[in-house]
Structure 1
């Protein structure tokens, strides 16, 4: 079987709708990070990918490490309703993997938060929005 050249590979191009959704997500994460920094948190990492899923933001303040899910919708209520049980389990599992891979955070308190984002409204931070199951 002949080797494929790089030029013969097809490049996947995201649709304009997908590109717009990605841009909105990035803007929502930036707004959430700014809100949390104003509350005295420092950003440890953004968009952390693990075998269990992605964590939007990881922030810390003193010995508190917070795993943050950012939800952006047309309304804050819609954003709040969009956090499903399976997503909460995925986020908690991803946080466990992150902690196992980063022993420097051993002994830190941990919390799972949500930041809700909607156009024309200030972001809303819900501390301790859910528990690890």
Structure 2
């Protein structure tokens, strides 16, 4: 039961993050993109940039500070490597971003969060 609730909240968070990105001028290219290495929550494009976005939703704003770490980012980075060529077909720059969400707070967008 807890897993189903968490899954539902995660999907709602991803929807909110996608809507927020669109308001900022991004075009959503994909959601919940599955790869052999894992899942990418959102793929978005603005100008010459393709952003692979990891979304983290927490019930409390204070918990956002611990929602993402190097291990989680490395897993998303592996998923990005598996599909980046599918999205960046015209020499676009690619990056891995993170959007952190909690009730009652503005989205926190961490640009280029993964730099190995």
The equivalent position to 2:99 in structure 1, one of 115, 121, 133, is: 115
- Aligned partners of 1:114 and 1:76: how far apart in 2? 15
2:58 corresponds to which of 73, 78, 81: 73
The structure with more strand, counted as a fraction of residues: 2
Tell me the number of residue pairs that the alignment of Structure 1 and Structure 2 aligns. 116
Query: TM-score, normalised to structure 2's length?
Result: 0.90
2:33 pairs with 1:45: no
Report the alpha carbon displacement of residue 56 of structure 1 after superposing the two structures with TM: 0.5
Instruction: Indicate the RMSD between aligned Cα atoms, in angstroms.
Output: 1.6
- Structure 1: give runs of 5+ residues left out of the alignment: 1-15
Name the SS of the counterpart of 1:74 in structure 2.
Answer: coil
Q: Give 1:105 shift.
A: 2.4
User: Which aligned segments of 4 or more residues in structure 1 are displaced greater than 4 angstroms?
Assistant: none
Query: Quick check: which has more Rg, 1 or 2?
Result: 1
Gap regions ≥5 residues in structure 2: none
